[in-house]
Structure 1
Amino acid sequence: MAIKKMGLVFIATCFLGLIFEPGRAHGSTKSDLFMSHGSDLPVAQTPPLVGICESFVAVHGYPCKEFKVKTQDGYVLTLHRIPEGRVKGSGKIRQPVLLQHGILMAFWAWSWDELVEHDLPALFDFVHSQTGQKLDYVGHSLGTLMALASLSQGKLVDQLKSAALLSPIAYLSHMTTSIGQIAARSFIGEITIWFGLAEFNPIGEAVATFLKALCAYPGIDCYDLMSSFTGKNCCLNVSTIDLFLQYEPQSTSTKNLVHLAQTVRDGIIAKFDYGNSETNMKYYGQSKPPIYNMSSIPNDLPLFLSYGGQDALSDVRDVELLLDNLKFHDGDKLTVQYIKDFAHADFVMGGSAKKIVYDALIAFFNRW
């Protein structure tokens, strides 16, 4: 990955990849399992047989370091740092870049509100403490929603140089994935049942039964679940898919999926709705959850948005709603890329993603 400016890369693996984490053996990282009960210090984690650095980074000739980052609410996150390229640099200061992936994620009594409130600030603080510099940020899917929600509240702005959002997830009411729409309605309608199942484990018995029921719906191809969720990806090759499918899907918090389902149903971007005014009053001081106002994102913050015409999750109409919220953004600070043939997974696994997306992204970063 020969990058001139992005010589210092932090990869937040606490928020897992597109739909599944690349590697169950790497462990669930948004968890207090690594915390000692009588101390504020993290205890040693039983090392995986093959870690992310060793299995995915070092094998390609890049140096890689792993860090543990503690959030204010007591979780321990894993962060991987690639400090330089294959060829050692000249020793000059490099620009830090945080890569933030999306769903599915791990462990249990939280939604993406907590990722906005606690996780992103902890990661930003850590990277800033290591480098002393503002960050460039790259988010995909849920990683974009986390950034947008944070920025709409004025958070992270002082530590952020620019942000690139791939397959931006904000509004979700127009998503065209049938399985996603049906699942969203199911999570809303069965909220009390699912709250009794805090962990949404895609390979567990309860979720397998749920998915089997979804597969009975017309128009859902459970023999091609990736396309059923993401849209028809144009540019994945066989070796990429084979590598992807070597690893099992990881768990997430059921509450997180319920929160996303609320976003689909309500057509707004708001904090988690506890389902009754009394509980909402307890958490928010008002009967309805507060809204994340996308138009409050600072107009002078450099933003790069890239979205695809075949994306069933980040639908073109929903992205247009987001762009309408950004219509007063400084013209020279907002770069928008539309790729007609790309679906959700193409942005992270497409064979042409480097040429079409990443080169444009790096050129954008190099402007600031």
Structure 2
Amino acid sequence: MATSVLQTVLLVLALLLCISSAEYLTVDSFINHSQSYDGGLCVNLVEPCGYTCSEHTIQTKDGFLLGLQRVSSSIVNLELQSAPPVLLLHGLFMGGDAWFMDSAKQSLGFILPDHGFDVWVGNVRGTKWSHGHVSLSERDKDFWDWSWQELALYDLEAMLRYIKSETSSKVFVVGHSQGTIMSLAAFTQPDIADLVEAAALLSPISYLDHITSKFVLNLVQMHLDEVSFSSLIQIYVNLILEVSYIKIFFTGTWITGNTSIKHEEVFCFPFLLFFSAFTRPRLIIDDIYAVLSDILTNIIDLACDGHVDCSDMLASITGENCCFNSSRVDFYLEYEPHPSSLKNLKHLFQMIRKGTFARYDYGSLKNVLQYGQTKPPSFDLGQIPESLPIWMAHGGNDALGDVIDVHHTLSELPSKPNVLFLENYGHIDFLLSTRAYEDLYGNMIRFFKSCGMSRSS
């Protein structure tokens, strides 16, 4: 599904609001819905399209085991040329599959190897293509104690070091949305920036305080990321164990079996369901989580199966997308969304509320214990090396990566990045546009080639 910082969360939330078209939903049909990830990303998405793909597992400094795929093209003989490695970094609630969602001529994960690049596909901790932790189980609270801060300082560093060890080369980095937050934060660290040859940032984000989506702003103001989930446990248990049908009334009450749910619970339920199911709060056991995941996916499938034009709903949240192929939503839903942590959402919402690009805010007292100061330290974009070539592409219709925020980012960088502005592009277009190669990927590839196609130590 479409990918982003906040983009995917908002897409899912928007689609949940589309359930008005379905008067009755059976629990049995939810439970029977399943997705298969057996065999890994290579077997599922890359090799069937005729590309060579190998699976790798790497370990971060804090013990997470990440899946990393290496992709090459059958039409380019990489042994006869020096192929620079490129790392693709996905967005929030996504995995590396996001780069292969459209045809081989439209998906960047296929286009880059066809142009002679040695493509590596990153999957951050907690996603379905990664492989857990050396000692923690997904049932452990500590397994989910991270935000994009750790993705930048641990996951991205581990990916870059592994790729350099395998290729003896610095790495080109491509990020979309959350992938750009990771990149910009990581590049402020000299030891990480030294591993990078150049970077291309799609819908670049380091500041989020000028987003224009009223829907997102309402979510932030409601503080749903700080809500207690304990009051919902009985609702979920009733839903899964006792209820055969759910009837939705828009008179202010949901009827589930013999249980009446208050109006305010009705209003928040789709949002709380999302946060619960895809950020794995520790109060919900894994068996219930598994069912909730299926319920959410089936709600989305049902809502967008001819009942309502959910692309219009999505546009009202993330910005109008000129070239998003809405006919492929069913296919996207076979792979998206992926889990993330509640702490990650909290960190993103902090950025919106405070207008900062900083480390996670634990509150004054814990900040002193964690950072030695009452406020979390900022990621200083001025510390990104001026010598690091950067290319950016952003859109005039992007309601999440707002133009003002992009200019704020640009003003703090020591270098002058190459910038491509597409007036009619929304947030999703930078990943799933049917015209992506003509409009931006070709430009990005020329930028990379201008930085040097030969390996550099």
TM class by shorter-chain length? Answer: 0.7 to 0.9
Structure 2 length-normalised TM: 0.62
- Equivalences for residues 99-110 of structure 1 within 5 A: 99-104=88-93, 106=126, 108-110=144-146
1:23-53 Cα deviation digits (max 9, x unpaired): xxxxxxxxxxxxxxxxxxxxxxxx9435321
CA apart distance, 1:268: 1.0
Q: Which amino acid aligns with 1:255?
A: K
CA apart distance, 1:116: 1.5
CA apart distance, 1:239: 3.8
- Equivalences for residues 263-282 of structure 1 within 5 A: 263-274=351-362, 276-282=363-369
Q: 1:162 to 1:123 in 2, by over 3 A?
A: same
Match of 1:261 among 345, 349, 360: 349
CA apart distance, 1:137: 0.4
Contact 1:167 1:314 in 2 (8 A): yes
Contact 2:90 2:175 in 1 (8 A): yes
Gaps of 5+ in 1: 1-14, 21-46, 212-220
CA apart distance, 1:200: 4.4
Quote the Cα distance in structure 1 between the aligned partners of 2:406 and 2:74. 34
CA apart distance, 1:278: 1.3
1:236 corresponds in structure 2 to 324
Q: Relative contact order: is structure 1 or structure 2 higher (C-alpha 8 Å, sep ≥ 6)?
A: 2
2:206 corresponds in structure 1 to 170
2:315 corresponds in structure 1 to 227
Match of 2:445 among 336, 349, 362: 362
Q: 1:195 to 1:290 in 2, by over 3 A?
A: farther
Match of 1:338 among 398, 421, 433: 421
Give the match's secondary structure for 2:8.
coil
Structure showing greater radius of gyration is 2
Query: Is it true that 1:94 corresponds to 2:83 in the alignment?
Result: yes
1:297 corresponds in structure 2 to 384
Q: Which amino acid aligns with 2:66?
A: L
Quote the Cα distance in structure 1 between the aligned partners of 2:354 and 2:383. 20
Q: Which amino acid aligns with 1:355?
A: E
Give the match's secondary structure for 1:313.
coil
Query: Is it true that 1:193 corresponds to 2:228 in the alignment?
Result: yes
Give the match's secondary structure for 1:161.
strand
Q: Which amino acid aligns with 2:433?
A: G
Quote the Cα distance in structure 2 between the aligned partners of 1:155 and 1:192. 38
Quote the Cα distance in structure 1 between the aligned partners of 2:313 and 2:292. 17
Quote the Cα distance in structure 1 between the aligned partners of 2:6 and 2:446. 24
CA apart distance, 1:349: 0.5
Contact 1:61 1:86 in 2 (8 A): no
Give the match's secondary structure for 1:182.
helix
Contact 2:5 2:177 in 1 (8 A): no
1:54-84 Cα deviation digits (max 9, x unpaired): 2211121110011111111111111110134
Q: 1:222 to 1:278 in 2, by over 3 A?
A: farther
Structure 1 length-normalised TM: 0.76
Task: Report % sequence identity.
Answer: 38
Contact 2:225 2:342 in 1 (8 A): no
Quote the Cα distance in structure 2 between the aligned partners of 1:16 and 1:265. 15
- Equivalences for residues 129-140 of structure 1 within 5 A: 129-140=165-176
How many residues matched?
310
Q: Which amino acid aligns with 1:249?
A: P
Quote the Cα distance in structure 2 between the aligned partners of 1:86 and 1:200. 45
Q: Which amino acid aligns with 1:184?
A: V
Which moved further from structure 2: 104-113 or 316-325?
Answer: 104-113
1:26 corresponds in structure 2 to none
Q: 1:17 to 1:177 in 2, by over 3 A?
A: closer
1:106-136 Cα deviation digits (max 9, x unpaired): 3621111111221111000110111010000
1:127 corresponds in structure 2 to 163
Gaps of 5+ in 2: 10-35, 95-125, 127-142, 232-271, 279-290, 300-308, 452-457
Contact 2:395 2:423 in 1 (8 A): yes
Q: Which has the higher helix share?
A: 2
1:170-219 Cα deviation digits (max 9, x unpaired): 110111122221222333x76263799997424849x97xx9xxxxxxxx
Give the match's secondary structure for 2:52.
coil
Contact 1:222 1:228 in 2 (8 A): no
Give the match's secondary structure for 2:173.
strand
Which moved further from structure 2: 191-200 or 233-242?
Answer: 191-200
Quote the Cα distance in structure 1 between the aligned partners of 2:83 and 2:41. 23
CA apart distance, 1:158: 1.4
Match of 1:112 among 137, 143, 148: 148
Q: Which amino acid aligns with 1:146?
A: M
Q: 1:336 to 1:292 in 2, by over 3 A?
A: same
